Structure 1
Amino acid sequence: MSEPSAPRIPTVDLGPWLSGDAEARREISRTVDEALQSAGFLLVTGHGVEAGLRAGIRRAAREFFRLPASVKERYEAKVGGRGWLGPGAEANGYAEGTETPPDLKESLTFATQEPFDDPAVNAEWYAPNVWPAEVPRLRPLCEEYLARMAELENRLLSLLGAALGLRPDFFTRHMAHPTYGFNINWYPGTEVVGAPEPGQFRIGPHTDFGTVTILDREAGKGGLQVFTDEGGWEDAPYDPEAFTVNIGDLLARWTGDRWRSGRHRVLPPPADAPAEELLSLVYFGECTPGTLVESVPAPVGRVRYEPVDSHGYLREKLNSITVG
């Protein structure tokens, strides 16, 4: 009788990794390396981020998203900015060169709260976060969450460096002052967005652009799907205690395509549950501006890309998904 195959998207408990047990660390490193070669996704438990904090953000964010459009428009931002992205602002499928209809979502977006020393970097990547006055409790909740995400990102990147057999700070040394992004994505039902057009998704098929993405999501019929060569499009596994973690294009380049940037999409409101409403908390880990991303050579890396400036690359990708 053959052994059951390992799941393409395994669950990794950070507890044994953080405790420093050598054998557990070796096993976790093998699991991470294998998963990121096949799907680019992991589920992560043992992260220490309280469920109550995540639930509190959801309650406050839903209060904002249910406000009249005329109120939300006071906080309107461009893609990659800080504030409210309304319906029709993004089409993530554009990043793959697919002319899909705009994504069926709204977002609140925030980023680093600390300005940079370089005025040119500030002009491009820094502006004060815009906090909705109508929901004052959202700010302290998000600021606490972002602090926890920064800690978790560094732990994950240390694990990823070790999983490649590199020094633990191989990635984290480039994160001294990152320009992370944080999206609260609201996926309302058809009573808000209308019936989906052909080829329209809550978020169209794409890969993320940066280093690691840490996602806290809700399960639903119109939820997250992940693409693998072996299985095609499949519903992503769900664990309410776990974060869904995937790597983005820059980290895939950094590893010389040893690891793949996780391709994914969010399905439209389902025909048999058109009123389904979901809300996701999405943390996009990024580097310090000016980081040069160079592919790790063989035998770790498999492809040698030309070095790229991390934030020049990010800006090009953000522009590519902007509608209009």
Structure 2
Amino acid sequence: MSEAAVPLVDLSESREGPGRAVAAEAIRRACETIGFFAVTGHGVPQDVIAAARREALAFFARPREVKMQTPQPPERISRGYSWLGSRGLAFSLGNRTPPDLQESFAMGPVEPAPAALDGTEDARAFFAPNVWPAVQPGLQPAFEAYYRAMAELSAHVLQLFATALGLPRDHFDAEIDHHTSTMRAILYPPPPETVEEGQLRAGEHTDYGTLTIVRGDDVPGGLQVRTRAGAWIDVHPPAEGFVCNIGDLMMRWSNDHWLSNLHRVALPPAEAGNRARLTFAFFHNPNADALIEPIRGFYREGEAAKYPPARFGDLFLRKHLSAQTMKAAQGAGA
């Protein structure tokens, strides 16, 4: 595979038999070279995708004062509405940029925290209640159905990751049985006539968790990923498919043999017209108390671990909070 391309992996025969090994090997090569791959044959019903899209577009079309009735909480966790200019993803890498040109609506787990986390900081940070707009009762069931479908797909891909790493297929199962994943519907509106220097729809960043699954409109001003040679290339989603990328935790788990890669969302060229772009991004995260340490799979024969063991919750919160533009600008979340 050329590193100047995002490979396509067919998952339709990846549950059992030879097709499983084929899919796992394709994923391994993609994760070693560019950290991104697209999938088809995923089994997610198209009506689930369509319903979530319909409800998202209806929500973003509402007046700002209505959307602000379900704002992101003051603790800056991924719940509710984040307004245009409230986030800057490049801050997560310590890069100060103008705010990203996007608005979004986020949700977290639909199941309650496990009993072992009752009353803990992990429960507050990762299992906070979701907030839903009273004026749009159809949004909650549509988003929850999409979230559950993405969680199921993620669990399957994590089993393929285990196979790709030379581990038993259920290796990660115990680390994700109370996963702390979040989902964000993101609207990138038509950009204003004048933008600030360095301003993008989403600044350069890497993701934080195990796996991100993206469903986005294939229009100008979309997702771009950086190759190892330093070039930015456009990522085009397959028809009825998804784009996947690994996050920092999976890179850490692989002892840096897999690549959590820089990506961004560019501004559309002037000649492309004044078009908005809708994206759903599912950020799969393990259990809050999952211990993240380099895996002794086939990569680590005679190789020392590059990272000490660390809890997922501790690794995640520091980086997540720094992506909130106002907190970073004030020096908080450090």
| TM-score category of the 2 structures, normalised to the smaller one | over 0.9
* Aligned position for 1:276: 275
Partner of 2:314: 312
Deviation at 1:240, TM superposition (A): 2.1
> Could you report, residue by residue, the CA deviation over 1:15-67 in whole angstroms, capped at 9, with x for unpaired residues?
1212x222x33332221111101110110111111223212212211111121
1:13 corresponds to which of 7, 10, 13: 10
Q: Structure 1 residue 84 and structure 2 residue 81: aligned? A: yes
Distance in 1 (CA, whole Å) between partners of 2:323 and 2:260 is 17
**2: CA distance, partners of 1:109 / 1:195:** 28
Instruction: Give CA deviations for 1:249-281 in whole Å, capped at 9, x if unaligned.
Output: 011001101100022100124322352111111
Q: How does 1:9-48 map to 2 (within 5 A)?
A: 9-18=6-15, 20-22=16-18, 24-48=19-43
The share of aligned pairs that are identical, in percent, is 36
Secondary structure of 1:99's counterpart equals coil
1:188: which partner in 2?
A: 189
Contact 1:297 1:304 in 2 (8 A): no
Whether 2:323 is the aligned partner of 1:321: answer: yes
Which deviates the most, 303-312 or 149-158?
303-312
Q: Distance in 2 between matches of 1:253 and 1:317?
A: 15
Alignment of 1:45-64 (within 5 A): 45-64=40-59
User: What value does the CA root-mean-square deviation take over the aligned residues?
Assistant: 1.8
TM-score by structure 2 length? 0.90
Partners of 2:193 and 2:88 in 1: how far apart? 17
More displaced, 242-251 or 81-90?
Answer: 81-90
For structure 2, which runs of at least 5 residues remain unmatched after alignment?
A: 327-334
SS in 2 for 1:81: coil
- Say how many residue pairs are matched: 317
Normalised by the length of structure 1, the TM-score is 0.93
1:91-240 matched pairs, under 5 angstroms: 91-116=88-113, 117=115, 118=117, 119-120=119-120, 121-190=122-191, 193=192, 195-230=194-229, 232-240=231-239
* 8 Å CA contact 1:175, 1:286 repeated in 2: yes
Q: Does the CA-based 8 Å contact 2:110-2:144 persist in structure 1?
A: no
Give the deviation of 1:223 after TM superposition. 0.4
Q: Is the 8 A contact 2:215 2:242 kept in 1?
A: yes
Moved segments of 4+, more than 4 Å: 4-7
Residue of structure 1 equivalent to 2:330: none
